[in-house]
């Protein structure tokens, strides 16, 4: 099982932590049909407009850690005699590790240096984006960049997940390790789709500003650039509804929502599937929405061409989507934001900013720095651990420090 894929996640505002492992040599790759798909976990790269590059991890093993710290075996063929079974499972997840006393995780090769992390490159890219908007090429484009963070000698992915899980109760917190695709970790605030047999839900989330965690959201003030950016994402969703002639939906918002030390503007869209007689809406909207204008731009394909020509960054899973599929009758997929790729000696953090005609390059750089800082704060150990439950998770990870 040395080539197994594994994922740990916790959904927003929930207490249960899920562990899933796909014991095959390679996860299934291809376009997802949510109605026909078995239970599992999906993860898609950013550059996947046709859906054919989506990876699906089937639930050969699925365990749930309850609030009292006990693990329940939900399904799968991996049989545990005691708690040490979880330890053995983690120990066999990958055949690469930083040292023999660490929990293994899969690695992916990346260049030691990337131009995408240079401020001068990012500023120039934003300037090019503003010029392209003024020339009518598109209305908005999202520019992304990376930040390298050396890993400490005692870095441990489970410890990192623990800190992140505590720091972001309102986010989808995840740790994914796949042979050949590496190990990714993040805490994203942005839902892409939430689909059950009865209801479909999606959100537009855009506009970003720092905001004290102890301040009341009613005090938030948004400028015109941020309001317009969020409105573009909302219009994009409505346009996709119009494409499939769907007119019966409920719109709520926009309102301010918190994501760590930042806030965003959010509008929610809900569809009663029984009322519209459209059971396959989840699959249809997934492929229409991804990549959303919140991580790409508008119009989509003009923005994608600009990104490919100017970003000089291999986004991979950053700004793609991920999440559980058909778990207890529900599929919840999230846009992969606030994430990092874990390498042997460093982590690569990703962040982006929406560029409109009102953008100021220096401020867009500061926005990406703020987004990176939310992850750096956790990596630097600024969050204390949750006693019993998180200590139980640490115990299950093996012999790492």
**What integer pLDDT is reported at residue 103 of this predicted model?**
46
Could you tell me the pTM of the whole model?
0.88
Question: In which element (H, E) is residue 231 found?
Answer: helix 224-243
Structural tokens at position 129 = 């984006």
Give, in order, the Cα–Cα distances in Å from 351 to each of 164, 179, 278: 17, 24, 35
Bridge partners for 322 per DSSP:
43, 334
Query: pLDDT at residue 282 above 60?
Result: yes
Q: From CA 63, how far away is CA 61, in angstroms rounded?
A: 7
Q: Cβ of 127: how many Cβ atoms within 10 Å?
A: 14
Tell me the pLDDT tens digit for each residue of 82-96: 443 444 555 554 433
pLDDT of 386 higher than 50: no
- CATH architecture of the domain 5-395 equals 4-Layer Sandwich (3.60)
The 10s digit of each residue's pLDDT in 37-77 is 999 999 999 998 788 999 999 998 898 887 776 667 766 55
Which residues are CB-neighbours of 315 under 8 A, at least 6 positions away? 45, 46, 47, 144, 350
CA distances, 63 to each of 68, 314, 372, 389 (Å): 14, 33, 31, 15
The pLDDT value given to residue 157: 85
Residue 397 has pLDDT above 50, yes or no: no
What angle separates helix 387-395 from helix 157-167, to the nearest 10 degrees?
160
| Cα separation, 118 vs 190, whole angstroms | 27
**Residue among 291, 323, 321 nearest 307 (CA):** 291
Structural domain boundaries in the chain: 5-395
Q: At 384, is the secondary structure helix, strand, or coil?
A: coil
Q: How many CB atoms lie within 10 A of CB 327?
A: 19
């Amino acid at each position: 099982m040395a080539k197994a894929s594994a994922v740990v996640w916790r959904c927003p505002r929930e207490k249960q932590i899920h562990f899933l492992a796909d014991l095959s040599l390679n996860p299934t790759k291809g376009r997802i049909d949510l109605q026909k798909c078995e239970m599992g976990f999906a993860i898609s790269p950013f550059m996947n407009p046709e859906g054919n590059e989506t990876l699906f991890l089937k639930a050969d093993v699925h365990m749930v850690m309850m609030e009292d710290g006990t693990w329940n075996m939900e399904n799968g063929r991996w049989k545990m005699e005691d708690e040490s079974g979880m330890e053995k499972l983690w120990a066999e997840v990958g055949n690469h590790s930083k040292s023999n006393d660490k929990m293994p995780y899969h690695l992916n090769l990346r260049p030691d240096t990337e131009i995408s992390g240079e401020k001068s490159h990012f500023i120039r890219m934003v300037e090019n984006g503003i010029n392209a908007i003024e020339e009518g090429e598109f209305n908005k484009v999202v520019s992304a960049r990376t930040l390298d963070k050396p890993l400490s000698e005692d870095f441990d992915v489970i410890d990192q997940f623990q800190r992140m899980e505590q720091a972001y109760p309102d986010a989808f917190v995840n740790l994914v390790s796949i042979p050949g695709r590496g190990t990714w970790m993040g805490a994203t605030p942005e839902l892409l789709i939430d689909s059950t047999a009865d209801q479909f839900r999606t959100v537009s989330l855009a506009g970003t500003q720092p905001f004290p965690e102890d301040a009341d959201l009613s005090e938030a003030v948004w400028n015109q650039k941020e309001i317009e950016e969020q409105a573009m994402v909302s219009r994009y969703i409505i346009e996709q509804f119009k494409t499939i002639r769907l007119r019966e939906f409920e719109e709520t918002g926009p309102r301010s929502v918190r994501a760590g030390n930042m806030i965003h503007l959010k509008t929610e869209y809900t569809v009663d599937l029984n009322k519209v007689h459209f059971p396959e809406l989840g699959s249809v909207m997934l492929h229409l929405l991804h990549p959303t204008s919140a991580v790409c731009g508008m119009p989509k394909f003009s923005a994608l061409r600009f990104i490919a020509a100017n970003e000089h960054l291999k986004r991979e899973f950053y700004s793609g989507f991920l999440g559980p599929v058909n778990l207890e009758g529900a599929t919840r997929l999230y846009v992969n934001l606030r994430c990092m790729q874990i390498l042997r000696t460093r982590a690569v953090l990703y962040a982006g900013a929406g560029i409109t005609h009102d953008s100021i390059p220096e401020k867009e750089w500061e926005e990406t720095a703020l987004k990176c800082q939310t992850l750096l704060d956790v990596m630097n150990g600024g969050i204390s651990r949750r006693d019993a439950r998180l200590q139980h998770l640490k115990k299950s990870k093996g012999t790492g420090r």
